[in-house]
Structure 1
Amino acid sequence: MLEPPRLAAQRREPILNVPPVITVLAAVMLAIQLIRDWVDPDTGVEILALFAFIPARFDPSVLAEGVLPGGTAADIWTFVTYAFLHGGWSHVGLNLLWMLAFGTPVARRFGALRFLAFFAVTAAAGAGLHLLTHEGELVPMIGASAAVSGCMAAALRFMFAHEGYAMWRPDMADEVAHFPAPPLLAVLRDRRVIGFVAVWFAINIAFGIGAPAGIVDGSVAWQAHIGGFLVGLLLFPLFDPIGRRPDDGRHIRRYGR
Protein backbone atom coordinates (compact mmCIF):
# COMPACT_ATOMS: atom_id res chain seq x y z
CA MET A 1 0.00 0.00 0.00
CA LEU A 2 1.43 3.33 -1.06
CA GLU A 3 1.80 6.04 1.55
CA PRO A 4 0.87 9.66 0.86
CA PRO A 5 4.07 11.54 -0.09
CA ARG A 6 3.92 13.93 2.90
CA LEU A 7 3.43 11.07 5.38
CA ALA A 8 6.38 9.18 3.90
CA ALA A 9 8.53 12.32 4.16
CA GLN A 10 7.55 12.77 7.80
CA ARG A 11 8.56 9.21 8.61
CA ARG A 12 11.98 9.80 7.09
CA GLU A 13 12.46 12.93 9.26
CA PRO A 14 15.27 12.19 11.78
CA ILE A 15 14.41 12.47 15.45
CA LEU A 16 17.40 14.74 16.06
CA ASN A 17 18.35 16.85 13.06
CA VAL A 18 21.36 18.59 14.60
CA PRO A 19 23.75 20.67 12.47
CA PRO A 20 27.27 19.19 12.39
CA VAL A 21 28.78 22.30 14.01
CA ILE A 22 26.62 21.74 17.10
CA THR A 23 27.65 18.09 17.22
CA VAL A 24 31.33 19.00 16.96
CA LEU A 25 31.10 21.66 19.69
CA ALA A 26 29.29 19.22 21.98
CA ALA A 27 31.89 16.50 21.31
CA VAL A 28 34.75 18.89 22.07
CA MET A 29 33.18 20.03 25.35
CA LEU A 30 32.49 16.45 26.43
CA ALA A 31 36.01 15.37 25.51
CA ILE A 32 37.51 18.24 27.50
CA GLN A 33 35.41 17.34 30.52
CA LEU A 34 36.54 13.72 30.20
CA ILE A 35 40.19 14.82 30.06
CA ARG A 36 39.77 17.05 33.11
CA ASP A 37 38.29 14.13 35.03
CA TRP A 38 41.14 11.86 33.95
CA VAL A 39 44.17 14.08 34.68
CA ASP A 40 45.66 14.56 38.13
CA PRO A 41 44.55 17.54 40.27
CA ASP A 42 47.71 19.57 39.61
CA THR A 43 47.26 19.26 35.85
CA GLY A 44 43.60 20.21 36.29
CA VAL A 45 44.64 23.43 38.03
CA GLU A 46 47.11 24.16 35.24
CA ILE A 47 44.34 23.73 32.66
CA LEU A 48 42.19 26.23 34.53
CA ALA A 49 45.06 28.69 34.87
CA LEU A 50 45.75 28.49 31.14
CA PHE A 51 42.26 28.42 29.65
CA ALA A 52 39.70 29.65 32.22
CA PHE A 53 38.73 33.32 32.37
CA ILE A 54 40.32 34.86 35.47
CA PRO A 55 39.68 38.61 35.95
CA ALA A 56 42.79 38.96 38.12
CA ARG A 57 44.87 38.14 35.03
CA PHE A 58 44.16 41.68 33.84
CA ASP A 59 44.94 43.43 37.14
CA PRO A 60 48.70 43.70 37.87
CA SER A 61 47.95 44.92 41.37
CA VAL A 62 46.51 41.48 42.18
CA LEU A 63 48.71 39.14 40.10
CA ALA A 64 52.18 40.05 38.93
CA GLU A 65 52.98 39.49 35.27
CA GLY A 66 53.98 35.90 34.57
CA VAL A 67 52.18 34.35 37.54
CA LEU A 68 49.55 32.82 35.27
CA PRO A 69 50.70 30.81 32.23
CA GLY A 70 50.10 31.80 28.64
CA GLY A 71 51.18 35.41 28.76
CA THR A 72 49.61 37.92 26.37
CA ALA A 73 48.21 35.17 24.14
CA ALA A 74 46.23 33.72 27.05
CA ASP A 75 44.95 37.22 27.83
CA ILE A 76 43.24 37.01 24.45
CA TRP A 77 42.23 33.37 24.05
CA THR A 78 40.73 33.00 27.54
CA PHE A 79 37.91 35.33 26.45
CA VAL A 80 36.69 32.33 24.43
CA THR A 81 38.38 29.17 25.72
CA TYR A 82 36.68 29.40 29.12
CA ALA A 83 33.43 28.48 27.33
CA PHE A 84 34.78 24.97 26.61
CA LEU A 85 35.51 24.20 30.28
CA HIS A 86 32.85 23.19 32.77
CA GLY A 87 32.54 22.55 36.48
CA GLY A 88 31.24 18.99 36.13
CA TRP A 89 29.08 16.68 34.07
CA SER A 90 25.83 18.25 35.20
CA HIS A 91 27.15 21.68 34.23
CA VAL A 92 28.26 20.63 30.75
CA GLY A 93 25.11 18.56 30.28
CA LEU A 94 22.82 21.49 31.09
CA ASN A 95 24.69 23.83 28.76
CA LEU A 96 24.63 21.29 25.94
CA LEU A 97 20.90 20.78 26.42
CA TRP A 98 20.24 24.51 26.00
CA MET A 99 22.70 24.73 23.11
CA LEU A 100 20.87 21.88 21.40
CA ALA A 101 17.54 23.68 21.85
CA PHE A 102 18.58 27.21 20.84
CA GLY A 103 21.88 26.74 19.04
CA THR A 104 20.46 24.28 16.53
CA PRO A 105 18.10 26.71 14.73
CA VAL A 106 20.72 29.48 14.89
CA ALA A 107 23.44 27.22 13.45
CA ARG A 108 21.08 26.03 10.73
CA ARG A 109 20.38 29.65 9.84
CA PHE A 110 23.94 31.01 10.07
CA GLY A 111 25.95 28.09 8.74
CA ALA A 112 28.99 26.62 10.48
CA LEU A 113 31.52 29.43 10.06
CA ARG A 114 29.14 32.24 10.98
CA PHE A 115 27.88 30.25 13.95
CA LEU A 116 31.40 29.62 15.26
CA ALA A 117 32.18 33.33 14.93
CA PHE A 118 28.92 34.19 16.70
CA PHE A 119 29.69 31.69 19.47
CA ALA A 120 33.12 33.26 19.99
CA VAL A 121 31.83 36.84 19.98
CA THR A 122 29.04 36.18 22.49
CA ALA A 123 31.40 34.19 24.72
CA ALA A 124 33.86 37.10 24.64
CA ALA A 125 31.06 39.55 25.39
CA GLY A 126 30.09 37.51 28.44
CA ALA A 127 33.69 37.47 29.63
CA GLY A 128 33.96 41.22 29.05
CA LEU A 129 30.94 42.05 31.20
CA HIS A 130 32.14 39.60 33.85
CA LEU A 131 35.50 41.37 33.87
CA LEU A 132 33.86 44.78 34.32
CA THR A 133 31.81 43.54 37.27
CA HIS A 134 34.49 41.35 38.90
CA GLU A 135 37.65 43.38 38.52
CA GLY A 136 40.66 41.71 40.13
CA GLU A 137 38.76 38.55 41.14
CA LEU A 138 40.83 35.37 41.42
CA VAL A 139 37.95 32.91 40.98
CA PRO A 140 38.04 31.40 37.46
CA MET A 141 34.92 31.59 35.32
CA ILE A 142 34.14 28.64 33.05
CA GLY A 143 31.18 27.38 31.04
CA ALA A 144 29.41 27.97 27.73
CA SER A 145 26.43 29.74 29.29
CA ALA A 146 27.25 33.19 27.88
CA ALA A 147 27.46 31.86 24.33
CA VAL A 148 24.32 29.77 24.86
CA SER A 149 22.57 32.91 26.11
CA GLY A 150 23.66 34.60 22.90
CA CYS A 151 22.06 31.75 20.94
CA MET A 152 18.83 32.25 22.89
CA ALA A 153 18.82 35.95 21.95
CA ALA A 154 19.58 35.19 18.30
CA ALA A 155 16.76 32.64 18.15
CA LEU A 156 14.36 35.26 19.50
CA ARG A 157 15.19 37.47 16.51
CA PHE A 158 13.53 35.04 14.09
CA MET A 159 11.70 32.25 15.93
CA PHE A 160 8.47 34.26 16.09
CA ALA A 161 8.87 35.79 12.62
CA HIS A 162 5.87 33.82 11.39
CA GLU A 163 2.62 33.67 13.33
CA GLY A 164 1.97 30.08 12.31
CA TYR A 165 5.28 28.80 13.67
CA ALA A 166 4.99 25.99 16.24
CA MET A 167 7.95 24.27 17.89
CA TRP A 168 6.33 20.85 17.93
CA ARG A 169 6.44 20.48 14.11
CA PRO A 170 10.04 19.66 12.99
CA ASP A 171 9.39 20.91 9.44
CA MET A 172 8.14 24.23 10.82
CA ALA A 173 11.24 24.59 13.00
CA ASP A 174 13.42 24.10 9.93
CA GLU A 175 11.31 26.50 7.86
CA VAL A 176 11.39 29.36 10.36
CA ALA A 177 15.19 29.10 10.52
CA HIS A 178 15.18 30.39 6.94
CA PHE A 179 12.46 33.00 7.34
CA PRO A 180 13.51 36.68 7.10
CA ALA A 181 13.97 38.23 10.55
CA PRO A 182 12.00 41.37 11.40
CA PRO A 183 13.76 44.50 12.74
CA LEU A 184 14.76 44.48 16.39
CA LEU A 185 12.16 47.08 17.37
CA ALA A 186 9.43 44.94 15.83
CA VAL A 187 10.72 41.88 17.69
CA LEU A 188 10.74 43.75 21.00
CA ARG A 189 7.08 44.70 20.54
CA ASP A 190 6.08 41.03 20.42
CA ARG A 191 4.49 40.06 23.74
CA ARG A 192 5.96 36.56 23.54
CA VAL A 193 9.46 37.99 23.22
CA ILE A 194 8.84 40.50 26.02
CA GLY A 195 7.64 37.71 28.28
CA PHE A 196 10.60 35.46 27.49
CA VAL A 197 13.14 38.26 28.03
CA ALA A 198 11.48 39.40 31.27
CA VAL A 199 11.51 35.88 32.72
CA TRP A 200 15.08 35.26 31.52
CA PHE A 201 16.40 38.45 33.09
CA ALA A 202 14.47 37.83 36.32
CA ILE A 203 15.97 34.35 36.67
CA ASN A 204 19.50 35.61 36.07
CA ILE A 205 19.15 38.54 38.46
CA ALA A 206 17.70 36.21 41.08
CA PHE A 207 20.81 34.04 40.74
CA GLY A 208 22.94 37.14 41.20
CA ILE A 209 21.14 38.21 44.35
CA GLY A 210 21.06 34.73 45.83
CA ALA A 211 24.62 33.64 45.12
CA PRO A 212 28.11 35.13 44.69
CA ALA A 213 29.62 35.25 41.21
CA GLY A 214 31.88 32.58 39.75
CA ILE A 215 31.21 29.07 38.57
CA VAL A 216 34.05 26.92 39.86
CA ASP A 217 32.72 27.07 43.39
CA GLY A 218 29.21 26.22 42.25
CA SER A 219 27.74 29.71 41.89
CA VAL A 220 26.55 31.37 38.69
CA ALA A 221 28.34 34.05 36.66
CA TRP A 222 25.05 35.70 35.72
CA GLN A 223 26.60 38.91 34.39
CA ALA A 224 28.34 36.86 31.69
CA HIS A 225 24.96 35.43 30.68
CA ILE A 226 23.55 38.93 30.28
CA GLY A 227 26.59 40.08 28.30
CA GLY A 228 26.26 37.20 25.85
CA PHE A 229 22.50 37.67 25.56
CA LEU A 230 22.62 41.40 24.86
CA VAL A 231 25.39 41.12 22.28
CA GLY A 232 23.63 38.19 20.60
CA LEU A 233 20.43 40.22 20.41
CA LEU A 234 22.09 43.38 19.06
CA LEU A 235 24.69 41.88 16.70
CA PHE A 236 22.41 39.25 15.17
CA PRO A 237 22.11 41.13 11.82
CA LEU A 238 25.90 41.08 11.36
CA PHE A 239 25.86 37.27 11.22
CA ASP A 240 22.48 36.68 9.60
CA PRO A 241 22.90 35.66 5.93
CA ILE A 242 19.17 35.87 5.20
CA GLY A 243 18.18 39.30 3.93
CA ARG A 244 14.76 40.79 4.42
CA ARG A 245 12.48 40.09 1.49
CA PRO A 246 8.73 40.44 0.97
CA ASP A 247 6.73 37.44 2.13
CA ASP A 248 5.69 35.48 -0.95
CA GLY A 249 2.81 33.86 0.93
CA ARG A 250 4.18 30.32 0.94
CA HIS A 251 4.52 30.23 4.73
CA ILE A 252 0.99 31.54 5.25
CA ARG A 253 -0.56 29.04 2.85
CA ARG A 254 1.40 26.15 4.31
CA TYR A 255 0.92 26.79 8.03
CA GLY A 256 -2.07 29.09 8.27
CA ARG A 257 -2.56 32.04 10.59
Structure 2
Amino acid sequence: MTGTDHNASPFNAIPPVTTALVIVMAGVELILSLGARGLMGGPGAVGWRIQTIERYAFSGDILAWMVETGRFPPEHLMRFLTYPFVHGTFTAALFAAVMMLALGKIVGEALGPLRMLAIFVVTAIVGAVVFGLFAGRVPLIGAFPPIYGLIGAFTYLLWLRLGQMGEAQIRAFSLIGVLLGLQLVFGLLFGGGPYWIAEVAGFVAGFAMAIVLVPGGLTRLVARLRER
Protein backbone atom coordinates (compact mmCIF):
# COMPACT_ATOMS: atom_id res chain seq x y z
CA MET A 1 0.00 0.00 0.00
CA THR A 2 1.27 3.43 -0.97
CA GLY A 3 2.28 5.65 1.92
CA THR A 4 2.56 2.81 4.41
CA ASP A 5 5.59 2.94 6.69
CA HIS A 6 6.73 -0.68 6.85
CA ASN A 7 9.38 0.24 9.42
CA ALA A 8 6.88 1.69 11.90
CA SER A 9 6.78 -0.12 15.22
CA PRO A 10 3.49 -1.89 16.00
CA PHE A 11 3.88 -0.67 19.59
CA ASN A 12 3.61 2.99 18.59
CA ALA A 13 -0.18 2.74 18.71
CA ILE A 14 -0.16 1.69 22.37
CA PRO A 15 -0.72 4.68 24.68
CA PRO A 16 2.42 5.50 26.72
CA VAL A 17 0.45 5.23 29.97
CA THR A 18 -0.49 1.64 29.14
CA THR A 19 3.07 0.83 28.18
CA ALA A 20 4.35 2.30 31.46
CA LEU A 21 1.93 0.20 33.54
CA VAL A 22 2.94 -2.98 31.72
CA ILE A 23 6.65 -2.15 32.08
CA VAL A 24 6.23 -1.84 35.85
CA MET A 25 4.35 -5.17 36.01
CA ALA A 26 6.95 -6.89 33.86
CA GLY A 27 9.86 -5.32 35.74
CA VAL A 28 8.58 -6.48 39.13
CA GLU A 29 7.95 -10.00 37.82
CA LEU A 30 11.34 -10.16 36.12
CA ILE A 31 13.14 -9.31 39.36
CA LEU A 32 11.09 -11.80 41.40
CA SER A 33 11.50 -14.58 38.83
CA LEU A 34 15.25 -14.08 38.50
CA GLY A 35 15.60 -14.01 42.26
CA ALA A 36 13.57 -17.21 42.65
CA ARG A 37 15.86 -18.95 40.17
CA GLY A 38 19.01 -17.76 41.92
CA LEU A 39 20.09 -15.61 38.97
CA MET A 40 20.29 -12.42 41.03
CA GLY A 41 20.29 -11.29 44.63
CA GLY A 42 22.01 -14.29 46.17
CA PRO A 43 20.39 -16.99 48.33
CA GLY A 44 18.08 -14.52 50.06
CA ALA A 45 16.42 -13.64 46.75
CA VAL A 46 14.49 -16.93 46.81
CA GLY A 47 12.11 -15.36 49.32
CA TRP A 48 11.67 -12.07 47.51
CA ARG A 49 8.19 -12.94 46.20
CA ILE A 50 6.88 -13.78 49.65
CA GLN A 51 8.43 -10.64 51.11
CA THR A 52 6.98 -8.52 48.30
CA ILE A 53 3.51 -9.97 48.82
CA GLU A 54 3.72 -9.32 52.56
CA ARG A 55 4.72 -5.70 51.97
CA TYR A 56 2.68 -4.70 48.91
CA ALA A 57 -0.38 -6.99 48.75
CA PHE A 58 -3.76 -5.64 49.80
CA SER A 59 -5.05 -7.07 53.07
CA GLY A 60 -8.61 -7.08 54.36
CA ASP A 61 -7.25 -7.39 57.89
CA ILE A 62 -5.20 -4.23 57.44
CA LEU A 63 -8.22 -2.42 56.00
CA ALA A 64 -10.28 -3.44 59.04
CA TRP A 65 -7.48 -2.30 61.35
CA MET A 66 -7.28 1.11 59.66
CA VAL A 67 -11.04 1.61 59.89
CA GLU A 68 -11.18 0.51 63.54
CA THR A 69 -8.23 2.63 64.68
CA GLY A 70 -8.80 5.60 62.39
CA ARG A 71 -5.14 5.41 61.38
CA PHE A 72 -4.20 5.33 57.71
CA PRO A 73 -0.39 5.10 57.42
CA PRO A 74 1.07 5.57 53.91
CA GLU A 75 2.73 2.15 53.95
CA HIS A 76 -0.72 0.57 54.14
CA LEU A 77 -2.62 3.03 51.94
CA MET A 78 -0.19 2.35 49.12
CA ARG A 79 -1.35 -1.28 49.09
CA PHE A 80 -4.52 -0.17 47.28
CA LEU A 81 -2.34 0.69 44.28
CA THR A 82 0.67 -1.60 44.63
CA TYR A 83 -1.10 -4.97 44.72
CA PRO A 84 -1.87 -4.97 40.93
CA PHE A 85 1.86 -5.03 40.19
CA VAL A 86 2.61 -8.14 42.27
CA HIS A 87 1.67 -11.58 40.97
CA GLY A 88 1.94 -15.05 42.43
CA THR A 89 3.47 -16.65 39.34
CA PHE A 90 5.20 -15.73 36.11
CA THR A 91 2.24 -17.09 34.12
CA ALA A 92 -0.23 -14.86 35.96
CA ALA A 93 1.96 -11.82 35.34
CA LEU A 94 2.28 -12.72 31.65
CA PHE A 95 -1.48 -13.04 31.15
CA ALA A 96 -2.04 -9.79 33.03
CA ALA A 97 0.51 -7.94 30.89
CA VAL A 98 -1.01 -9.22 27.64
CA MET A 99 -4.55 -8.31 28.68
CA MET A 100 -3.39 -4.93 29.93
CA LEU A 101 -1.74 -4.14 26.60
CA ALA A 102 -4.85 -5.08 24.64
CA LEU A 103 -7.47 -3.46 26.86
CA GLY A 104 -5.33 -0.43 27.71
CA LYS A 105 -4.91 0.24 23.99
CA ILE A 106 -8.63 -0.10 23.21
CA VAL A 107 -9.90 1.94 26.16
CA GLY A 108 -7.05 4.46 25.89
CA GLU A 109 -7.81 5.13 22.24
CA ALA A 110 -11.55 5.47 22.90
CA LEU A 111 -11.47 7.59 26.06
CA GLY A 112 -7.95 8.99 26.18
CA PRO A 113 -4.95 7.82 28.23
CA LEU A 114 -5.75 9.84 31.35
CA ARG A 115 -9.31 8.50 31.56
CA MET A 116 -8.00 5.01 30.99
CA LEU A 117 -5.53 5.51 33.84
CA ALA A 118 -8.33 6.86 36.04
CA ILE A 119 -10.37 3.70 35.38
CA PHE A 120 -7.36 1.53 36.22
CA VAL A 121 -6.69 3.36 39.50
CA VAL A 122 -10.28 3.69 40.70
CA THR A 123 -11.28 0.13 39.86
CA ALA A 124 -8.16 -1.18 41.58
CA ILE A 125 -9.22 0.65 44.75
CA VAL A 126 -12.88 -0.38 44.47
CA GLY A 127 -11.92 -4.00 43.84
CA ALA A 128 -9.66 -3.98 46.89
CA VAL A 129 -12.26 -2.43 49.19
CA VAL A 130 -15.01 -4.86 48.16
CA PHE A 131 -12.57 -7.77 48.41
CA GLY A 132 -11.52 -6.63 51.86
CA LEU A 133 -15.13 -6.45 53.02
CA PHE A 134 -16.06 -9.95 51.87
CA ALA A 135 -12.88 -12.01 51.58
CA GLY A 136 -11.47 -11.61 55.07
CA ARG A 137 -7.87 -12.67 55.61
CA VAL A 138 -6.96 -13.65 52.04
CA PRO A 139 -4.33 -11.26 50.58
CA LEU A 140 -5.15 -9.71 47.22
CA ILE A 141 -2.49 -9.54 44.51
CA GLY A 142 -2.48 -9.26 40.74
CA ALA A 143 -3.67 -6.79 38.10
CA PHE A 144 -6.90 -8.56 37.26
CA PRO A 145 -9.31 -6.37 39.31
CA PRO A 146 -8.35 -3.19 37.39
CA ILE A 147 -8.09 -5.22 34.17
CA TYR A 148 -11.68 -6.29 34.73
CA GLY A 149 -12.37 -2.59 35.28
CA LEU A 150 -11.07 -1.95 31.77
CA ILE A 151 -13.22 -4.83 30.54
CA GLY A 152 -16.19 -3.08 32.14
CA ALA A 153 -15.34 0.14 30.29
CA PHE A 154 -14.86 -1.78 27.04
CA THR A 155 -18.22 -3.49 27.57
CA TYR A 156 -19.98 -0.14 27.86
CA LEU A 157 -18.24 1.16 24.74
CA LEU A 158 -19.32 -1.97 22.87
CA TRP A 159 -22.84 -1.62 24.29
CA LEU A 160 -23.03 1.88 22.80
CA ARG A 161 -21.63 0.73 19.46
CA LEU A 162 -24.10 -2.13 19.15
CA GLY A 163 -26.95 0.25 19.98
CA GLN A 164 -25.86 2.62 17.23
CA MET A 165 -25.75 -0.30 14.79
CA GLY A 166 -29.21 -1.45 15.82
CA GLU A 167 -27.94 -4.82 17.03
CA ALA A 168 -28.65 -6.71 20.25
CA GLN A 169 -26.77 -4.88 22.99
CA ILE A 170 -26.75 -7.91 25.25
CA ARG A 171 -23.88 -9.19 23.07
CA ALA A 172 -21.66 -6.58 24.72
CA PHE A 173 -21.61 -8.73 27.86
CA SER A 174 -20.39 -11.86 26.07
CA LEU A 175 -16.73 -11.22 26.98
CA ILE A 176 -17.32 -10.91 30.72
CA GLY A 177 -19.64 -13.92 30.56
CA VAL A 178 -16.97 -16.06 28.90
CA LEU A 179 -14.27 -14.92 31.32
CA LEU A 180 -16.36 -15.61 34.40
CA GLY A 181 -17.38 -18.98 32.97
CA LEU A 182 -13.76 -19.96 32.36
CA GLN A 183 -12.84 -18.75 35.82
CA LEU A 184 -15.55 -20.92 37.34
CA VAL A 185 -14.34 -23.98 35.43
CA PHE A 186 -10.70 -23.46 36.39
CA GLY A 187 -11.73 -22.83 39.98
CA LEU A 188 -13.64 -26.11 40.12
CA LEU A 189 -10.81 -28.05 38.47
CA PHE A 190 -7.77 -26.53 40.15
CA GLY A 191 -9.15 -24.62 43.12
CA GLY A 192 -8.72 -20.93 43.75
CA GLY A 193 -9.37 -18.10 46.13
CA PRO A 194 -12.21 -15.59 46.20
CA TYR A 195 -10.41 -13.23 43.84
CA TRP A 196 -13.48 -13.13 41.59
CA ILE A 197 -15.05 -10.81 44.18
CA ALA A 198 -12.51 -8.08 43.42
CA GLU A 199 -12.71 -8.75 39.69
CA VAL A 200 -16.50 -8.48 39.51
CA ALA A 201 -16.34 -5.32 41.62
CA GLY A 202 -13.72 -3.92 39.25
CA PHE A 203 -15.90 -4.76 36.24
CA VAL A 204 -18.96 -3.03 37.69
CA ALA A 205 -16.91 0.03 38.69
CA GLY A 206 -15.30 0.21 35.23
CA PHE A 207 -18.68 -0.01 33.50
CA ALA A 208 -20.08 2.72 35.74
CA MET A 209 -17.06 4.97 35.21
CA ALA A 210 -17.33 4.62 31.44
CA ILE A 211 -20.93 5.86 31.60
CA VAL A 212 -19.65 9.06 33.19
CA LEU A 213 -16.41 9.42 31.20
CA VAL A 214 -17.80 8.84 27.71
CA PRO A 215 -19.03 12.21 26.34
CA GLY A 216 -22.81 12.10 26.47
CA GLY A 217 -22.75 8.57 27.83
CA LEU A 218 -24.97 9.21 30.83
CA THR A 219 -27.51 11.04 28.67
CA ARG A 220 -27.61 8.13 26.22
CA LEU A 221 -28.13 5.63 29.01
CA VAL A 222 -31.01 7.59 30.53
CA ALA A 223 -32.62 7.95 27.11
CA ARG A 224 -32.27 4.25 26.42
CA LEU A 225 -33.77 3.30 29.78
CA ARG A 226 -36.70 5.63 29.19
CA GLU A 227 -37.36 3.93 25.87
CA ARG A 228 -37.88 0.71 27.75
Q: Which range, TM-score by smaller chain? A: 0.7 to 0.9
Deviation at 1:27, TM superposition (A): 0.8
Aligned length: 201
Stretch moving more, 34-43 or 229-238: 34-43
Please say if residues 156 and 193 of structure 1, whose CA atoms lie closer than 8 Å, have aligned partners that are also in contact: yes
Cα distance in 1 for residues equivalent to 2:64 and 2:170: 43
Deviation at 1:192, TM superposition (A): 1.4
Q: Which runs of 5+ in 1 are unaligned?
A: 1-6, 66-70, 164-180, 215-220, 245-257
1:15 matched to 2:10? The reply is: yes
1:25 matched to 2:26? The reply is: no
Q: Which has the higher helix share?
A: 2
Deviation at 1:106, TM superposition (A): 0.7
Please say if residues 208 and 222 of structure 1, whose CA atoms lie closer than 8 Å, have aligned partners that are also in contact: no
Q: 1:10 to 1:78 in 2, by over 3 A?
A: same
Q: Which runs of 5+ in 2 are unaligned?
A: 36-40, 218-228
Note the 1:65-214 alignment, pairs <5 A.
72-135=73-136, 137=137, 139-159=138-158, 161-162=160-161, 190-207=169-186, 211-213=191-193
The residue identity in structure 1 corresponding to 2:23 is: A
Q: 1:207 to 1:124 in 2, by over 3 A?
A: farther
Please list the CA deviations of residues 113-143 of structure 1 after superposition, one character each: whole Å capped at 9, or x if unmatched. 32222111111111122112212x1x42211
- Out of 61, 86, 107, the residue aligned to residue 56 of structure 1 is 61
The residue aligned with 1:45 is 50
Q: 1:86 to 1:9 in 2, by over 3 A?
A: farther
Please say if residues 207 and 222 of structure 1, whose CA atoms lie closer than 8 Å, have aligned partners that are also in contact: no
Task: Say which one has the larger Rg.
Answer: 1
TM-score (ref. length: structure 2): 0.74
TM-score (ref. length: structure 1): 0.66
Cα distance in 2 for residues equivalent to 1:19 and 1:47: 28
The residue aligned with 2:226 is none
Please list the CA deviations of residues 222-250 of structure 1 after superposition, one character each: whole Å capped at 9, or x if unmatched. 1111111010011213333x446xxxxxx
Q: Give RMSD over aligned pairs.
A: 3.1
Q: 1:226 to 1:206 in 2, by over 3 A?
A: farther
Cα distance in 2 for residues equivalent to 1:202 and 1:231: 20
The residue identity in structure 1 corresponding to 2:208 is: L
Partner-residue secondary structure (3-state), 2:52: helix
Partner-residue secondary structure (3-state), 1:53: coil
Please say if residues 84 and 144 of structure 2, whose CA atoms lie closer than 8 Å, have aligned partners that are also in contact: yes
Q: 1:196 to 1:44 in 2, by over 3 A?
A: closer
Cα distance in 1 for residues equivalent to 2:170 and 2:131: 29
Identity of aligned residues (%): 26
Cα distance in 2 for residues equivalent to 1:157 and 1:151: 10
Q: 1:209 to 1:76 in 2, by over 3 A?
A: farther
Please list the CA deviations of residues 161-183 of structure 1 after superposition, one character each: whole Å capped at 9, or x if unmatched. 446xxxxxxxxxxxxxxxxx97x
Please say if residues 146 and 227 of structure 1, whose CA atoms lie closer than 8 Å, have aligned partners that are also in contact: yes
Please list the CA deviations of residues 140-164 of structure 1 after superposition, one character each: whole Å capped at 9, or x if unmatched. 221100111111111122235446x
Please say if residues 103 and 152 of structure 1, whose CA atoms lie closer than 8 Å, have aligned partners that are also in contact: no
